[in-house]
Amino acid sequence: MTAAQPNPDIIICDDKESLYHEAATRFADLASKAISDHGRFMVALSGGSTPKALFELLSTDAWRDRVDWSKTHLFWGDERFVPKDHADSNYRMANEALISKVDIPEGNVHRIETEAGTAEEVATNYERTLRTVFGLGEGDVPRFDLIHLGLGDDGHTASMFPGTTAMHEAERLVVAVWVEKFKTNRVTCTPVVLNNAAEVEFLVGGASKRDVVPQVIRGEYEPDRLPSQTVRPTDGVLRWLLDKDAAAGL
Question: Is residue 4 included in any domain, yes or no?
Answer: no
Question: Is residue 248 included in any domain, yes or no?
Answer: no
Q: Give the pLDDT mean for 81-85.
A: 97
Q: Which domain holds residue 222?
A: 9-243
Q: How many domains are contained in the chain?
A: 1
Whole-number CA gyration radius for the chain: 17
Cβ–Cβ < 8 Å for 71, 35 = yes
- Residue 6: pLDDT over 80: no
Q: What is the pLDDT of residue 16?
A: 96
The strand ranges marked E within 61-162 are 72-76, 78-80, 146-149
At 222, which CATH number? 3.40.50.1360
Question: Is residue 1 included in any domain, yes or no?
Answer: no
Question: Is residue 249 included in any domain, yes or no?
Answer: no
pLDDT tens for 27-73 read: 999 999 999 999 999 999 999 999 999 999 999 999 999 999 999 99
Q: What is the pLDDT of residue 2?
A: 55
Q: What is the pLDDT of residue 3?
A: 58
pLDDT tens for 157-183 read: 999 999 999 999 999 999 999 999 999
Question: Is residue 2 included in any domain, yes or no?
Answer: no
Q: Give a three-class secondary structure readout of 166-209.
A: HHHCCCCCEEEEEEHHHCEEEEEECHHHHCCCCEEEEEECCHHH
- Cα separation, 193 vs 117, in Å, equals 23
Question: Is residue 17 included in any domain, yes or no?
Answer: yes
pLDDT tens for 89-140 read: 999 999 999 999 999 999 999 999 999 999 999 999 999 999 999 999 989 9
pTM: 0.97
Question: Is residue 3 included in any domain, yes or no?
Answer: no
Q: What is the pLDDT of residue 151?
A: 98
Give the contacts of 119 (CB within 8 A, at least 6 positions apart): 81, 176, 177, 185, 186, 187
Question: Is residue 138 included in any domain, yes or no?
Answer: yes
